[in-house]
Amino acid sequence: MDREHIKGTAKKVEGTVKETVGKVTGNKEKEAEGKLDKAEGSAHKVAGDIKDAIRHGTE
Give the list of residues 6+ apart from residue 52 with CB closer than 8 angstroms, or none.
2
Amino acid at 50: I
What residue numbers bound the domain in which 7 lies? Answer: 3-57
CA distance 34 to 11: 9
- Give the chain's domain count: 1
Q: Return per-residue pLDDT of the chain as tens, 59 residues.
A: 788 899 999 999 999 999 999 999 999 999 999 999 999 999 999 999 999 999 888 76
Tell me the torsion sign for CA atoms 26, 32, 35, 41. Answer: negative
Q: What is this structure's pTM?
A: 0.82
Three-state SS at 27: coil
